[in-house]
Amino acid sequence: MQHFDLIVIGGGVVGLATAYKWQMANPNKTVVVLEKERKLAQHQTGRNSGVIHSGIYYKPGSLKASTCFDGYAQIVEFAKKYDIPHDLCGKLIVATSEEELPQIDRILARGKENGLSGLKVIGPDEIKEIEPFVNGLKAIRVPQTGIIDYVAFTNKLGELITQMNPNSEVLKNQRVIRIRKDARDISVVKTTDKTFTANQVVACGGLEADRLAKLDGLSPCMRIVPFRGDYYDLTPSGEHKVKHLIYPVPNPEFPFLGVHFTRMIAGGVECGPNAVFSFKREGYGRTSFDLKDTLSALSFGGTWKLFKTHWRYGLGEYERAFSKAKFLQALQKLIPSLTDSDIVPARAGVRAQALSPDGKLVDDFVIEKGNAAIHVLNAPSPAATASLAIGDEIMKRLKGQP
């Protein structure tokens, strides 16, 4: 049995950022990060679009808005200091129909209220100057957006933690199966082969967040429902048609941003993702299935209410998941000249999205205290961008911190 001052469950970017922030503030105390996979950042962190978000979309005053704005500045400073591959290339949010124009005004107002600077609304001619192959009626140019290698960022956080205190550890292959408080008010975390004790615990479980909360005696009213996002890559014949990041105007009813074009930090351009209900929390194939995960989602009343309300939207997303032609049609809204030969199927990711009993997708980050741990229950995009600021937020909730 090993004792640490803090245990962090989850080796994704939010878990490592939290452990890093705590170690920075407590260099003489010990922290252990417990990750169930062989490597860090194997799920949401390593399978997202790799975008440094600006915070333009999020409701003013929300945790998403405040931590994304703060996290953006922190992650850029960190990337510069430690040579993490990144590029502040900027993006366009493009309206392609008259119906989307009011949304442009709403998004612009939110961005300004959230503290962004340099935002500019541009017309068709200026759009063409920036992105010659994009057709749009109006767009917002967002300079405070970039791309980064989140896996490299996460691994660097782990290195720095153990450099600050050699008695701290970042352990892999440690799946947590029990969380409890003992008679001395010490938190006990048991994995499949080891037992750890600590004065405090933080659980950043991502796709397993609600299950970790239940291990700790919490009964969260929300349920993690997985949504798979499929990506396509542009081939060399299509790659030259994208110079920055290009986003559609998002559907205001959903926290998804729609299929978009993302320059990748390692080179190339990625298109996507869509957002389809997944029958497996860590299922990255179109036909991935897990009985336990499926029963968890379909036994929750909120899932059926979501399906009933938004069945038409969901059907469209499924069509794009299984039809290259339908996916291409969505991309052609922004770049009409794209052809079938310009895109090839690529990877997929799964988003851990909390769903409430009334069938609504939980929009903001959610952090709650259980019996033995603090739990990050909902941390979808832009959690990677906001990770260092989320770490600061968790620090406020830990005992003995300012």
pLDDT digits (tens, 9 = 90+) for 185-206: 999 999 999 999 999 999 999 9
Instruction: Tell me, yes or no, whether 214 and 229 share the same domain.
Output: no
pLDDT band (50, 70, 90) for residue 294: very high
Residue 269 lies in a domain: yes
Which residue range(s) make up the domain with 302? 223-361
Instruction: Tell me, yes or no, whether 256 and 352 share the same domain.
Output: yes
Stretch among 126-135, 244-253, 293-302 having the lowest mean pLDDT: 244-253
CATH code for the domain of 17: 3.50.50.60
Instruction: Tell me, yes or no, whether 278 and 297 share the same domain.
Output: yes
Residue 73 lies in a domain: no
Averaged over 3-17, what is the pLDDT?
A: 98
Q: What's the structural domain count of the chain?
A: 3
Instruction: Tell me, yes or no, whether 330 and 307 share the same domain.
Output: yes
List the one residue out of 2, 91, 26 whose CA is nearest residue 391: 26
137 CA to centre of own chain: 29
Residue 288 lies in a domain: yes
Instruction: Tell me, yes or no, whether 249 and 338 share the same domain.
Output: yes
Residue 202 lies in a domain: yes
Residue 234 lies in a domain: yes
% the chain with pLDDT above 70? 98
Instruction: Tell me, yes or no, whether 216 and 230 share the same domain.
Output: no
Q: Quick one: 32 exposed, middle or buried, by C-beta within 10 A (0-12, 13-18, 19+)? A: buried
Residue 53 lies in a domain: no
Averaged over 21-44, what is the pLDDT?
A: 97
pLDDT digits (tens, 9 = 90+) for 313-346: 788 888 888 899 999 999 999 999 999 999 999 9
Instruction: Tell me, yes or no, whether 37 and 171 share the same domain.
Output: yes
Residue 256 has pLDDT above 80, yes or no: no
Instruction: Tell me, yes or no, whether 42 and 188 share the same domain.
Output: yes
Instruction: Tell me, yes or no, whether 267 and 347 share the same domain.
Output: yes
Tokens of 224: 């993690």
Instruction: Tell me, yes or no, whether 385 and 334 share the same domain.
Output: no
Question: Quick one: which H or E segment has residue 124?
Answer: helix 124-130
Phi, psi of 352 (to 5 degrees): -85, 105
Residue 266 has pLDDT above 60, yes or no: yes
Averaged over 214-219, what is the pLDDT?
A: 94
Q: Quick one: 117 exposed, middle or buried, by C-beta within 10 A (0-12, 13-18, 19+)? A: exposed
